[in-house]
């Protein structure tokens, strides 16, 4: 989505070609046209994250034909400089939020990888890990503020397309929200791994650590004849 230089806000999806073809009908649905109108109003009144050019980063970094793994998040981080369009990921030089820190701790334990300095998960996305938030935008400082403006319908369509058009994907559903979102996945065609959320509230109650989702994902990828993910961040 773009912001015109003239000062007039317009919303035009800029999305990678394989996704654009698969989602073409969604962009013309009444809910999406209304979503665009609401986003224009939001940008006139509030600071909205991530920046417009990064709203579709998950799709632009991981084309539909390259997707092997799907991680479903809830909405972007709402702090300054954090959100970069990939769920759980933060931009270079930004401190790791607690959930991301717990993801990296589980990665250390599961695969004996060093705790990374960068919290930018683009390295995963480039290998076929679709890092999909349910809502693709958020107001500054207000978590879940765009949960009800139509993004859920759009990302449900994304999950449905993945479920119907792809085979042997690995879906990682962390926490109750992702599990509910994942009910539309055809589990006869795909592998679904579930656990608690990596947030401290869940992780400290024993619902996150030890899930070994990273090694299990690679096991299933290799079993399906696919390249495993190199989870170590550069």
What would the pLDDT profile of 175-213 be if each residue is shown by its tens digit?
Answer: 999 999 999 999 999 999 999 999 998 877 878 999 999
What number is the average pLDDT over the span 20-26? 95
Nearest to 141 by CA among 49, 42, 43: 49
Q: How many CB atoms lie within 10 A of CB 78?
A: 20
Average of per-residue pLDDT values in the chain? 93
pLDDT at residue 160 in the model: 98
Overall average pLDDT of the 207-229 stretch: 97
pLDDT tops 50 at residue 64: yes
Q: Does position 109 have pLDDT exceeding 90, yes or no?
A: yes
Residue 5's pLDDT is 36
pLDDT value of residue 206: 77
Bridge partner list, 133: 73
Question: What is the pLDDT, as a whole number, of residue 203?
Answer: 79
pLDDT at 13: 63
Q: Which of these, 89, 125, 87, 79, lies nearest to 231 by C-alpha position? A: 125
Q: What is the pLDDT of residue 3?
A: 38
Q: Which pLDDT belongs to residue 128?
A: 98
Long-range contacts of 112-118 (CB under 8 A, 24+ apart): 113/231, 113/232, 114/232, 116/232, 116/233, 118/92, 118/233, 118/234
Check residue 112 and give its pLDDT.
97
Q: Taking residues 163-185, what's their average pLDDT?
A: 96
Question: Is the per-residue pLDDT at 19 higher than 50?
Answer: yes
Identify the active-site residue in 75, 110, 148, 186: 75
pLDDT bucket at 10, cuts 50 / 70 / 90: very low
Active site residue 25: no
Ramachandran quadrant class, 210 (left: phi over 0; alpha: psi -120 to 50; beta: rest): left
pTM comes to 0.93
Specify the pLDDT at position 12: 57
- Name the residue with tokens 């989602």: 23
pLDDT at 102 over 90: yes
């Amino acid at each position: 989505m773009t912001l015109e230089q003239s000062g007039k806000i317009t919303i035009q999806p800029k999305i990678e070609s394989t996704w654009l073809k698969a989602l073409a009908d969604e962009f013309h649905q009444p809910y999406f046209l209304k979503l665009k109108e609401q986003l224009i109003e939001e940008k006139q009144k509030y600071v909205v994250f991530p920046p417009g050019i990064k709203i579709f980063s998950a799709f632009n970094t991981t084309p539909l034909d390259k997707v092997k793994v799907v991680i479903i998040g809830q909405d972007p981080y709402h702090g300054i400089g954090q959100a970069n369009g990939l769920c759980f990921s933060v931009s270079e030089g930004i401190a790791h939020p607690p959930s991301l820190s717990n993801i990296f701790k589980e990665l250390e334990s599961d695969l004996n990888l060093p705790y990374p300095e960068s919290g930018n998960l683009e390295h995963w996305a480039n290998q076929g890990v679709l890092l999909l938030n349910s809502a693709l935008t958020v107001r500054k400082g207000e978590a879940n503020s765009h949960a009800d403006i139509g993004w859920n319908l759009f990302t449900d369509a994304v999950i449905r397309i993945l479920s119907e058009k792809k085979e042997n994907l690995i879906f990682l559903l962390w926490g109750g929200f992702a599990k509910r979102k994942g009910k539309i996945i055809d589990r006869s065609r795909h592998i679904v791994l579930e656990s608690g959320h990596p947030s401290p509230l869940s992780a400290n109650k024993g619902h996150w650590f030890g899930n070994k989702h990273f090694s299990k994902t690679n096991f299933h990828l290799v079993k399906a004849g696919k390249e495993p993910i190199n989870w170590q961040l550069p």
